Structure 1
Amino acid sequence: MSENAIRINERIRENAENIASALENHMLTAFAPDARKELRLFSAGEAADLLGISTSFLRKLHMEEKIEEVLTSAGGRRSYSADDLEAIRSYLDRAAKVPGTYRKGRRPGDKVQVLSFLNFKGGSGKTTSTVHTAQRLALKGYRVLCVDIDPQASLTTLFGYRPEVDFTDVGTIYDAIRYDDPLPLSAVIQKTFFTGIDLAPASLMLQEFEHETPRALMENVQPPFFSRMAATLAEVEGDYDLILFDCPPQLGYLTMSALCASTGLFITVVPNMLDVASMSQFLQMSADLLDVVSDAGATMNYDFMRFLINRLEPNDGPQQQVVAFLRNLFGKEVMTASMLKSTAISDAGLTHQTIYEVERSQFNRNTYDRAVDSLNDVNDEVESLIQAAWGR
C-alpha cells in the first residue's frame, strides 16, 4: 500500500496517540515529579501592588509586627505566598475605617458578575485573556470560578489538568449541563493550584451538548439550552464574586448558553482587517441568534460589553490604523487598555504557564515588564467595570 493509500482514520488516530504521548512526557518534564502545578511566591513589590498599598507601608506593617512574618532570604528579601497575601488583606480590611477598602468582592445585594470572553475566530486571545483576568483578580482577593466551555479545553490544560486523561468519562461542565441526568455543578468543580480560583473543566465530551441540543429542543426538554447554564450556575454563585467563561471559537449552543448567563461580555479582536471582517460576521450572527432566544424568554440585560484589543504591536502602523478605526466606530466600548503581543506570554505558554506564574528572572526583564504592565492595565480596567456594575 502506498503512502497515499493509507487509511486516513488510522493515520489520524496514530497522530493523535503520538501527540498525546508527547504532551504527557512534556507535562511530566515541566512539572515533575507529579505533573501538578504550584503557584510561585511574589516579591514585596508585587505583593504591595496586589494589596493596593505601598512597599514602604508593607515594610512598616512587618516592623510593627501587625502581620505575620513571611519567607525571608538571607539578604533580607521577603517572598509572599498567595495565602500570605490573603492573611494581610484580611488584616488591612479589619483595620480600615471603611469595610471593603481592601476586600473588593461582592457585598450583600451585589449580584455575581459572569463574564464571557469570545470571538468567532480562533487565535484571537480568548483563553489568554480569560486566564490572565482570572489570575490577576484572584490575586487581588476576588473569589473566581473559571468555566471552560471550549471542547478543546485549553483553559483546563493551563490549570494543570490533562482532559484526555483526567476527565475521560465524567467530571466536566458537560456533566452539569447535559440533558440526561445532569450532575450538580458542585460535583464537577475542581480546586486549582492557583489560590482563589476554582475550575469547571472541559473535555471533548462537551461537543455532545452541540449534538444533543437539537433533539432536546424537539422534545421540549427543560430548562432549554439557552437558560441551562444560568440555572446550573445558580447552585454555586453564592460562593464566588466572579464567574468567567472561556468560549469556543464558534457560535453554537454552548456559546449561546454562556451569553444568556452572562452579565458582561468581552469580544477579543486582533487588530487587522481580516479579523475585523470576521468579527463583523460574528456580531451579525450573534444578534440574529440572540433575537431568537430573547423571543423565547432569555434575559438579555448586560452591565457592559467591551471590545478587547489583543496581540497589539504598538509600532505596527497598519494595526494602529485598525485600532483607530475601531475606536472611532465603537467609542468607549473599545477598552482603553490593550493586550500587547509579547514573546514573554508565548514563551510562558510553552510550559503551559501564564505571565503571572513565571518568574521574572526567566525572561528578558524589559520584555517581561512590558507584558505584565500590559496585562495589569487590561485587567485593572476589567476590575473597574466590575466595580462600576456593583455601584462603586
Structure 2
Amino acid sequence: MMLAPKPRKMAPTFTSAQVAELCGIDRIKLNNLLATREGLPQGEAQGSGRSRVFTLPDARTWVQQVSDIYQTPLHTGVRDADGKVILVANFKGGSTKTTTTMCLAQGLTLRGRRVLLIDLDPQASLTELCGLYAEKEVTEDSTVLPFIYDPQMEGGLLNFVQPTYWDGLDVIPAHPTLFSAEFHIPGTVIKNPGFKFWDLLRQGIETLRQHYDYIILDTAPSLSYLTINALMAADAMVMPLVPESLDFISSVSFWSLFSDLAHTIMERGDEKTYDFVSVLLSKVDYGKTSSAPVVRSWVQRTYKDWVSAVEVPASSAMSNGALAMATVFDISKGDLADKTVARVRQPLTDYVRWIDDLYVEQWRAGK
C-alpha cells in the first residue's frame, strides 16, 4: 500500500498588528518606523495597501531591531555566545512533552533567539514537527548516533544539525535506529567499567553552545541511556504535566528513579544542579467534572515552588494541531478562530518569556 504524500510545512505569516505586538509597540509606531527607518522589512501590502503581511524572518528582524527585548551575545557579537540547554522530560506518553518542546523553541525564536532542537526520542515526533519525515528524510547517520559511537569525531554534533522550515530554528533529528544507543552504551560500560556513560551528550553539546542561544532536548518517555545523558547535559528542566492521576503518579516515579540515578553518579564523583526545574501543567481541563483541581493540589503539595504559575488549557486547537503535525505557533491569523488559538498560545508565550527573562539576567551579568 502506498502512503499519501505529506505536505511540506510552511512557516506562518504575521499581520502588522501581530508584528507590533511581538515588538511591544502599537500600530501607529510600526507605521512610522516603516516610513522612516531604513533596513526594516516592509512586508507585503494587502488589498488597499493599508494592511501588510510579514514573513517569519521579517517578524524576527523587527523584534531584533525594534523591540526592547534584550538581544543576546550571539546576536550582538559583544562576546562569545553561551547557549543554555533545556530538557523537556516526562515518563508518560500524551503529556504534551514534544508539543511543548516545539512551542518553547518557536516562542523563543519569536523573541529573536536562535534555537537548536535535539530529538533523542526514537519515535521522532519532534523531528516530524520540524517538517522532516523520519521514514524517508532521516537516516541513522543524520542523528546523534554516530557521535555516540565515536565521541571524538571531527566536527562533533555540529555535523548533524539541519535547518528547518522555521527561521532561527535548527534540529538534530531522530530516527527509530536511535534505540541502538541503548545497547551500545551499556556494552561500552562492560568493556570499560570506568566509562562515564552519562557524560557523552554533555561533552558534545558544549561545543554547540557558541552557535545557539538555546539548545532544547526532547527525550523518550523513559529513563533510557539517552534520557540519562540529556538529564546530565541540561542546565534546566521543564516537565509538562497533565493534571490527571496517572500522569501525577508517573511524574513521582520519574523523580524517584532519577534520584537513585543521581545518587549513583554522585558516588562516582560527579554532581548535578539545575538553574531551575519547572513543572508546567498542560492540557488542563477547567470543566465542572474535571479531576484537575484535585490533582493540581497534589502537584502543588509535592513540587511546591517548582510548579509554574502558568497553565496551558486543554483545547481543540492543540488537538487539531497535533493531528496536522503543527502547533498553535504554526497557525497564521485567520486559519482558526483567533480566540481559540490565543487561549493556548498566550500562556505558552508567557511561559517562554519567563524562561527567557531568567537567562537574560545571566547574559546581562556576563554569566
Shorter-chain TM-score above 0.5: yes
- Specify the alignment match of 2:277 in structure 1: 305
For residue 332 of structure 1, the aligned residue among 287, 290, 305 is 305
Please identify, of 76-85 and 151-160, the stretch whose mean Cα deviation from structure 2 is larger. 76-85
Where does residue 154 of structure 1 map in the other structure? 125
Identity of matched residues, %? 27
Aligned residue among 103, 107, 110 for 1:132: 103
1:336 aligned counterpart, secondary structure: strand
Provide the residue aligned with 2:192 in structure 1: 220
TM-aligned CA deviation for residue 221 of structure 1: 8.2
SS state of the match for residue 147, structure 1?
Answer: strand
Report the secondary structure of 2:308's partner residue.
coil
Q: Secondary structure at the match of 2:108?
A: helix
Q: Deviations over 1:365-388 (max 9, x none)?
A: 322221222322222222233334
Relative distance call for 1:222 and 1:197 in structure 2 (3 A) is: farther
Secondary structure of the corresponding residue to residue 291 of structure 2: helix
1:185-200 equivalent positions in 2, closer than 5 A = 185-200=157-172
The offset of 1:180, in angstroms, is: 7.9
Alignment-derived partner of residue 6 in structure 1: none
Name the amino acid aligned to 1:227. Answer: D
Check conservation: 1:105, 1:143, Cα contact below 8 A: no
In structure 2, the CA distance between the partners of 1:226 and 1:370, relative to structure 1 (3 Å rule), is same
Residues 344 and 48 (structure 1 numbering): CA distance in 2 closer, same or farther, change over 3 Å?
A: same
Q: Is the 8 A contact 1:147 1:199 kept in 2?
A: yes
CA distance, structure 1, for counterparts of residue 102 and residue 226 of structure 2:
19
Aligned AA for 2:66?
L
> Using the alignment, how far apart are the partners of 2:352 and 2:10 within structure 1?
22
Give the CA RMSD over aligned residues.
2.3
Per the alignment, residue 85 of structure 1 pairs with 59
Letter in 2 for 1:87: T
Give the corresponding residue for 2:338. 365
SS at match of 1:145: strand
Q: Give the C-alpha shift of residue 51 in structure 1.
A: 2.4
Q: Find the aligned partners of 2:170 and 2:303 in 1 and give their Cα distance.
A: 34
Per-residue deviation at 1:247?
A: 1.0
Instruction: Map Cα deviations across residues 182-237 of structure 1 (whole Å, 9 max, x no partner).
Output: 56212111011100011011001110001111110112288632110011112222
- The 8 Å contact of residues 200 and 229 in structure 2, kept in 1 or not, is answered as yes
If the length of structure 1 is used for normalisation, what is the TM-score?
A: 0.84
Which of 247, 261, 280 is equivalent to 2:233?
261
Instruction: Write the distance in 2 (CA, Å) between the matches of 1:152 and 1:56.
Output: 47
2:245 is matched with 273
Task: Say whether the 8 Å CA contact 1:176–1:188 is kept in structure 2.
Answer: no
- What 5-or-longer segments of structure 2 have no aligned partner? none
What is the DSSP-based 3-state SS (H/G/I as helix, E as strand, rest coil) of the residue aligned with 1:226?
coil
C-alpha deviations, 1:330-356, integer Å up to 9, x for none? 232101101111111111222211111
Instruction: Give the whole-Å Cα distance in 1 for the aligned partners of 2:106 and 2:81.
Output: 21
State the alpha-carbon separation in 2 of the partners of residues 57 and 145 from structure 1: 32
Compared CA separation, residues 124 and 56, structure 1 to 2 (3 A): same
Q: Which residue of 2 aligns with 1:8?
A: none
Report if aligned partners of 1:265, 1:304 keep a CA contact under 8 Å in 2.
Answer: yes
Distance 1:116 1:154, change over 3 A: same
For 2:209 and 2:173, the matched residues in 1 are separated by 17
Shift of residue 390, structure 1, vs aligned partner: 4.0
Deviation, 1:301, is: 1.9
Query: Partner residue of 1:251?
Result: 223
The one-letter amino acid paired with 1:166 is E
Query: Which 4+ runs in 1 deviate beyond 6 A?
Result: none
User: Do the aligned partners of 1:110 and 1:390 also contact (CA within 8 Å) in 2?
Assistant: no
SS in 1 for 2:217: strand
* Cα 1:185/1:271, change in 2 over 3 Å: same
Partner of 1:114: 85
Tell whether 2:174 aligns with 1:202: yes
Give the unaligned 5+ runs of structure 1.
1-17
Task: Report the counterpart of residue 123 of structure 1 in structure 2.
Answer: 94
- Which residue of structure 1 lines up, in the alignment, with residue 296 of structure 2? 323
Give the Cα separation in 1 of the matches to 2:266 and 2:108: 31
Indicate conservation of the 8 Å contact 2:151/2:200, yes or no.
no
Structure with higher Rg: it is: 1
Deviation at 1:291, TM superposition (A): 1.4
1:43 to 6, 15, 25: 15
2:145 aligned with 1:163, yes or no? no
Cα distance per residue 1:60-116 (max 9 Å; x no partner): 2113244342211023211111222343344337xx8xxxx5424657477421000
Matched to 1:149, the amino acid is L
TM-score (normalised: structure 2): 0.90
The count of aligned residue pairs is 358
Tell me the secondary structure at the aligned position of residue 335 of structure 1. strand
Aligned residue identity for 2:170: D
CA distance in 2, matches of 1:360, 1:346: 18
Task: For 2:292 and 2:10, locate their aligned partners in 1 and report how far apart those are by CA, in whole Å.
Answer: 37
Distance 1:374 1:388, change over 3 A: same
2:321 aligns with one of 348, 372, 377 = 348
Quickly say closer, same or farther: Cα 1:180–1:58, change in 2 above 3 A.
closer
User: Does residue 103 of the first structure (1) align with residue 71 of the second (2)?
Assistant: yes
Instruction: Output the CA distance in 2 between the equivalents of 1:156 and 1:221.
Output: 34
**Alignment partners' CA distance in 2, 1:336 and 1:216:** 43
> Which shifted more, 152-161 or 74-83?
74-83
